[in-house]
Structure 1
Amino acid sequence: MPLIAVEEHWVMPDITSALRAVPHRDESLVFNEIGDNQERLEDLAVGRIAAMDAQGIDVSILALTPPGVQPLPPKEALALSRAANDVATAAVARNAARFRSLSTLPMSSPKDVAGELVRAADTGHVGAMVYGRSGDLLLDDLVYDDFFTAASELGQPVFIHPQLPSTAVRAASYRGFDPMTDLALATFGWGWHMDAATAALRLILRGTFDRHPDLQVVLGHWGETLLFWLDRADSLSRIAGLQRAVSDYIRSNFYITASGMLNPALLQHALSVTSVDRLIFSTDYPFQRPTREEIDSFLTHFSSDAERQQFSSANAASLYGIDL
């Protein structure tokens, strides 16, 4: 059956150079430079398609790698967002049967976010990837509400990707070890996922989905821990004056991806919290590279061919408007 991967990262050299030039640059950039990651991230042609073929992936939905452009000043973030979206559009046009793309947005320039989302959608982008914070602005700040209005009206799903926690949070919770352990704890080991989960939960508590009931959000890494804590998160619903329980928003406004974490125990927990029509395959390429055999083995843990097809391709195809 077809296989669609929705969280497959790329980058362009101009963005890498700009991020390296920022004072106190984002330390997570080091992960892009490990091994052959940088080469793979910059490849939107033969090498990437060969990697997809080896894994049995039919369609990859491209998304700019962390930390995106939100660490950049507003004017530069806007210019590079537009450039990245144009590059991705051209890559999709060259390989229309194999690629789709999520737009890059200038979150450090809130007044320009909705406009770039619309422009990117007009050129074929099927959704957007954002982060939970840009500088001191949190994603649930009402300054971004025009963006969520546009995303909802256009049917553009919003993928919230993890990012390095703020300097203050790192100082309070993620320091005190050697530099690399500090960084790992603040990123893939723990902090990334707490940051993204908190951003998603804050969107719910801010009433974002009461104002925009059709808005769809995507979370990676099996829901960035939120699926495991809904019994407690639901207690916030009444206090925040929400129309529904937090878990109801998760089941109706959120899609959950695997991000290459092909652990059947995580799948079974996700199925106990939400429904199979809300689960989507992804590999988090090139940072996770499951083999075709590992992918095929994981798919055996679904109870039927129909459920396997939903996870493998049908849910993503429906959400992102992909004809198979």
Structure 2
Amino acid sequence: MKLIGIEEHFLTSEVRDAWHAIGLEAADPSVAVHSGIIEDRLLDLAEERLALMDETGLDVQVLSLTTPALHDLGPDSVDMARRINDALAAAVARHPTRFQAFATLPVAMPEEAALELERCVRTLGFKGAMLCGRVGSRSLDDPFLSPILRSAEALGAPILLHPRTPEAAVRAAYYSGFKPEIDAAFASYGLGWHYDAGIQFIRLVLAGTFDRMPRLQVILGHWGELVLFYAERLAAMDRVSGLAHPIGTYLRRNLYVTASGMFLPHYLERAAAVVGHDRLLFSTDFPYQYRPGHDAKRFLQNCGLDEAQKAGFAHANWLRLTTECNMQAGAR
């Protein structure tokens, strides 16, 4: 059964150097995570990556620039995004049966980002885009960023909403007081990343984004970034939200959920109960959650789904979600 991982990351030396040039590691401690063997695997888009895919049982990676992407790089990121996307398109062309791509966007310049997303889908054949939550002090529901979301809806291009580290004031209030390395882990991959991404999605819901853009589709990793486990509590806001539909409707209509290497059948069961089996997507969160020994394939085989549901989870749901993107590319 073909296995497509839709949250699989890469990095370029240009982006890494740009982060360090602005001292981003001081403002976002997750930058330091991208070092050693993790950095080596992020930078590789050739044979070693393919070998590791084979080792875990993954047939296709949908590649996305790792967090915090270009969110902090300002106007200079417009040309940088084009270079990254062109290089990524070349990598996909070298291995068309193994790689697909999410667009990297210059999010600080939303109009330019919307145009770049259009170019990536229609000219380069990309399958959507990845965003990393806040842009400066702006959350994703800020009207300033709406050109990106409107472009995504018009193109039928899903948005992978990836975690990023909470801003400094939030880290100081909730994730500090321990050793620096503990504070950094607590605020990022330990917990802070995931709360931040889930909150960004709920902000989009509460802001009426999906009432204005009902065809917009968002993907949350890590089985929904905690959101799905509090669906009942979120529903309590229906009486005050003023939205066109109950919050549960947006979870079932505008949200897809992926595993991100958290291979836990009871999490899968909870996600399916909230969003439906046809909105489950596979991913390994390479290279952060990489485990050898055909780990990905083994989870699929033992996840508790019937054969039709397994096929959806493994590849068919992704292929259906990106059908409109494929049509846009075919029309170029």
Q: TM-score, normalised by structure 1?
A: 0.96
Aligned to 1:110: 110
TM-superposed CA distance for 1:298, in Å, is 2.1
Q: Are residues 1:315 and 2:317 paired? A: yes
Matches within 5 A, 1:146-157: 146-157=147-158
CA distance in 2, matches of 1:292, 1:45: 20
CA separation of 1:24 and 1:152: change in aligned 2, threshold 3 A: closer
Q: How does 1:200-215 map onto structure 2 within 5 Å?
A: 200-215=201-216
Amino acid at match of 1:302: G
**Distance in 1 (alpha carbons) for counterparts of 2:66 and 2:275:** 27
CA distance in 2, matches of 1:286, 1:153: 32
> For residues 236-294 of structure 1, what are the alpha-carbon distances to aligned partners after superposition, in whole Å with 9 as ceiling and x for unaligned?
23312101111110111110000000011211211222211110110000001133543
Looking at structure 2, the residues matched to 256 and 83 of structure 1 have their Cα atoms a distance apart, in angstroms, of 29
Check the 8 A contact 1:63/1:103 in 2, yes or no: yes
What per-residue deviation string (whole Å, max 9, x for no partner) do you get for residues 169-206 of structure 1? 11111111000100111011110000000000000011
Give the whole-Å Cα distance in 2 for the aligned partners of 1:307 and 1:100. 23
Deviations 1:71-116 (A, max 9, x none): 112x212121111111111111111111110001111222322111
Query: 1 CA distance for matches of 2:111 and 2:191?
Result: 32
Q: CA offsets per residue over residues 134-158 of structure 1, 9 Å max, x none?
A: 1111110011222211111101000
Deviation at 1:24, TM superposition (A): 4.6
Q: Match for residue 284 of structure 2?
A: 283
Tell me which residue corresponds to 1:32: 34
Q: Which residue matches 1:241?
A: 242
Consecutive aligned runs of 4 or more in structure 1 exceeding 4 Å deviation: none
Q: Does residue 1:178 correspond to 2:173, yes or no?
A: no
- Is contact 1:9–1:65 with CA below 8 Å preserved after alignment? yes
Q: CA RMSD in A?
A: 1.4
Counterpart CA distance in 2 for 1:185 and 1:157 is 29
Q: Partner letter of residue 134 of structure 1?
A: V
Q: Is the contact made by 1:205 and 1:237 (CA closer than 8 Å) also made in structure 2?
A: no
- Letter aligned with residue 109 of structure 1: M
2:95 aligned partner:
95
Letter in 2 for 1:97: T
Q: Distance in 1 between matches of 2:274 and 2:190?
A: 23
Which secondary structure state, in structure 2, belongs to the residue aligned with residue 134 of structure 1?
Answer: coil
Alignment partner, residue 7 of structure 2: 7
Question: Superposed, which structure 2 residues align to 1:1-324 within 5 Å?
Answer: 1-25=1-25, 26-33=28-35, 35-73=36-74, 75-122=75-122, 123-299=124-300, 300-321=302-323
User: What is the CA distance between 1:124 and its match in structure 2?
Assistant: 1.2
How many Å apart are 1:52 and its aligned residue?
A: 1.1
Range 131-140 or range 198-207, more displaced: 131-140
1:301: how far off?
Answer: 2.4
Provide the C-alpha distance between the structure 1 equivalents of 2:319 and 2:278, rounded to a whole number of angstroms: 11
Q: Report the more deviating stretch, 312-321 or 274-283.
A: 312-321
Equivalent AA in structure 1 for residue 319 of structure 2: A
Q: Distance in 1 between matches of 2:137 and 2:190?
A: 23
Greater alpha carbon shift after TM alignment, 214-223 vs 119-128: 119-128
Q: 2: distance between equivalents of 1:82 and 1:281?
A: 28
User: Could you tell me how far apart the structure 1 residues matched to 2:215 and 2:8 are?
Assistant: 25
Cα distance in 2 between the residues matched to 1:238 and 1:114:
34
Unmatched 5+ residue regions in structure 2? 327-332
Instruction: Assess if the C-alpha contact under 8 Å between 2:165 and 2:187 holds in 1.
Output: yes
Amino acid at match of 2:5: A
Q: Distance in 2 between matches of 1:151 and 1:85?
A: 16
Compared CA separation, residues 56 and 140, structure 1 to 2 (3 A)? same
Letter in 2 for 1:307: Q
For the 8 Å contact 2:58–2:296, the answer to whether it is kept is no
SS of 2:103's equivalent?
A: strand
Deviation at 1:229, TM superposition (A): 0.5
CA contact (8 A) 1:63 1:101 kept: yes
Asked if the contact 2:256/2:275 (under 8 Å) is kept, the reply is: no
Check conservation: 1:128, 1:157, Cα contact below 8 A.
yes
The letter of the residue matching 1:237 is D
CA deviations 1:205-240 (Å, max 9, x no partner) are 111110111111000000000000111111223312
Per the alignment, in what secondary structure is the counterpart of residue 138 of structure 1? coil
Give the secondary-structure state (helix, strand or coil) at the position aligned to 1:229. Answer: helix
Q: Say whether the 8 Å CA contact 2:282–2:315 is kept in structure 1.
A: yes
